[in-house]
């Protein structure tokens, strides 16, 4: 078994003016696990996500994916390296169909294999075959997420929970090594959260590694294999959910938020 962490971040640092948003943050994620990143509001969770996925340029630190250094300097470079993410605020193409949204994600991974300006203009046999394969794979992913019946529906007409699943399908279309989810349960009711949990467990069982930010501590503690807790941009705890829940620093950071009852 390969013991190299899938994602290894050391001493990640990010500042905004005089504000230190991340200070020497370390994280190691093993292959095939669901890893949780939690913390109070303003702890630096989303900043960390934005740094490792190329939205923010880090001010320091080293970043490795599958044992290879990668430079989180641009979103497309990170996606090509093998990290796909979703956002707290849904970022679909609202006026495109569900199928077209997933096809966009698939194009990232297949770009250059059979596409090009000449092929697109002339509609060559290679181009048409490539488009057919992309469409077929996009339908497979919609079926995988349980929303194939909405393939031809405009994305903005889908329910909130189905839009979340569509975002995950689009992310999976890029064939990521690591799926990074920013508060995927935000705004969901209890039924939708249970379905989300089942979906993420299925994705993990099928060989994907997942990093998740989530405010629903109960969901994180019941779903994740290991958890890291940030507070004021620093790691205050990491380990098994049962260990993290008992950590005095974590309890203090979450005082009044209900973590002791999670």
pLDDT the model gives residue 96: 96
Percent of the chain predicted with pLDDT > 70: 87
Residue 4 pLDDT more than 90? no
DSSP-assigned states of every residue in the chain: ---S-SEEEEEEEEEETTEEEEEEEEEEE-TT-EEEEE-STTSSHHHHHHHHTTSS--SEEEEEETTEE--TT-HHHHHHHTEEE--SS----TTSBHHHHHHHHHHHHHTTTS--HHHHHHT-HHHHHHHHHHHHHHHHHHHHTT-GGGTTSBGGGS-HHHHHHHHHHHHHTT--SEEEEESTTTT--HHHHHHHHHHHHHHHHTT-EEEEE-S-HHHHHHH-SEEEEEETTEEEEEE-HHHHHH-HHHHHHTTTSSGGG-
Task: Tell me the per-residue pLDDT of 81-120, one tens digit each, with 9 for 90 and over.
Answer: 899 999 888 889 999 999 999 999 887 655 544 455 455 5
Domains of the chain listed by start with CATH number = 1-82+176-262 (3.40.50.300), 90-174 (3.40.50.300)
Please tell me the pTM assigned to this model.
Answer: 0.87
């Amino acid at each position: 078994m390969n013991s190299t962490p899938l994602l290894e971040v050391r001493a990640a640092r990010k500042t905004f003016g005089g504000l230190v948003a991340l200070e020497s943050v370390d994280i190691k994620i093993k292959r095939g696990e669901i890893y949780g990143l939690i913390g109070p509001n303003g702890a630096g969770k989303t900043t960390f996500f934005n740094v490792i996925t190329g939205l923010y340029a880090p001010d320091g630190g080293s970043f490795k994916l599958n044992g290879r250094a990668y430079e989180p300097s641009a979103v497309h470079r990170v996606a090509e390296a093998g990290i796909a993410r979703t956002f707290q605020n849904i970022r679909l193409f609202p006026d495109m169909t569900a199928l077209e949204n997933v096809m966009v994600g698939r194009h990232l991974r297949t770009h250059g294999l059979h596409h090009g300006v000449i092929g697109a203009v002339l509609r060559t046999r290679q181009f048409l075959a490539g488009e057919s394969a992309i469409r077929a794979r996009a339908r497979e992913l919609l079926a995988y997420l349980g929303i194939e019946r909405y393939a031809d529906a405009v994305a903005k007409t889908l329910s909130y929970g189905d839009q979340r699943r569509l975002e995950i399908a689009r992310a999976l279309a890029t064939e990521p090594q690591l799926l990074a989810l920013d508060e995927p349960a935000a705004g969901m009711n209890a039924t939708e959260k249970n379905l989300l949990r089942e979906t993420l467990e299925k994705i993990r069982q099928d060989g994907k590694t997942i990093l998740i930010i989530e405010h629903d501590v109960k969901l994180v503690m019941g779903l994740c294999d290991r958890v890291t807790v940030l507070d004021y941009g620093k790691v205050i705890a990491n380990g098994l959910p049962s260990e993290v829940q008992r950590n005095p620093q974590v309890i203090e950071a979450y005082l009044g938020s209900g973590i002791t009852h999670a």
